[in-house]
A = this chain, B = another copy of it.
Amino acid sequence: MEELKARIRAEGQVLGGGILKVDSLINHQVDPVLLYAMGQEIAHRFEDANITRILTAEVSGIGPALMTGLVMQVPVVYARKRKPVTMMEPVYVEAAPSHTKGGETLLMVSPEYLTAADRILIVDDFLATGKTLHALARLVTKAGAQLVGIATVIEKSFEGGRDFLADLNVRIESLAVIESMDDGQIMLAE
């Protein structure tokens, strides 16, 4: 997606430790018009997949997931990382490593919003190690739903997430692929 790649080139900052700052685009400020274009592109790539629901994780997956859901006209569910007072047990729970604080983050989804009748597309902001996405995929399995595919905004291919997710045997689409960030330089795939 050329517009996204241009924005990553212009606004992305490599912070060291393999961290890409895209706070002006995705993680703190979002551009709703660009986000909608992402949603259109993801919906287009899965247009024949009969998706019934989209699953993402709070917080930064919500934007791209919502816009994809708007284009596809299907509900969007975001896995919670902290159990709100309105969330009743039983819930489906899976753990993923926390990016920001070490340790583990729990991802929780209510069985009310993830059912055996669903054909699920997982949408998230980043594909890095793939561990959060894998945890989301396990939630889909727990619910007896069918995982149809995974779509992410930015893939850092050098972190190997695509291989880590290979056992899921589903189509994985990314809108921009970063092949390396050595010496602070963002190298995007064509």
Which residues of A are at the interface with B, using a C-beta cutoff of 8 A?
A: 15, 19-24, 27-33, 35-36, 58-59, 62-63, 66-67, 69-70, 73-78, 80, 82-87, 99-101, 109-110, 112-113
Given contacts A15-B85, A87-B23, is CB(A110)–CB(B33) below 8 Å? no
Bound complex: CA A26 to CA B101 (Å)? 27
A80 touches B113 (CB 8 A): no
Q: Which residue of B lies closest to A31 (CB)?
A: B75
Q: Which residues from chain B contact A28 at a C-beta distance below 8 Å?
A: 77-78, 80, 84, 86-87, 109-110, 113
- 5 A-B residue contacts at CB 8 Å? A29-B113, A30-B75, A32-B66, A32-B67, A33-B70
A83 to chain B, nearest CB (A): 8
A32 touches B69 (CB 8 A): yes
A186 to chain B, nearest CB (A): 14
Bound complex: CA A22 to CA B85 (Å)? 11
A32 to chain B, nearest CB (A): 4
Given contacts A75-B30, A113-B24, is CB(A99)–CB(B85) below 8 Å? yes
Q: Which residues from chain B contact A83 at a C-beta distance below 8 Å?
A: 100
With beta carbons under 8 angstroms apart, the residue of B27, B32, B62, B69 that contacts A84 is: B27
A42 to chain B, nearest CB (A): 13
With beta carbons under 8 angstroms apart, the residue of B58, B100, B109 that contacts A58 is: B58
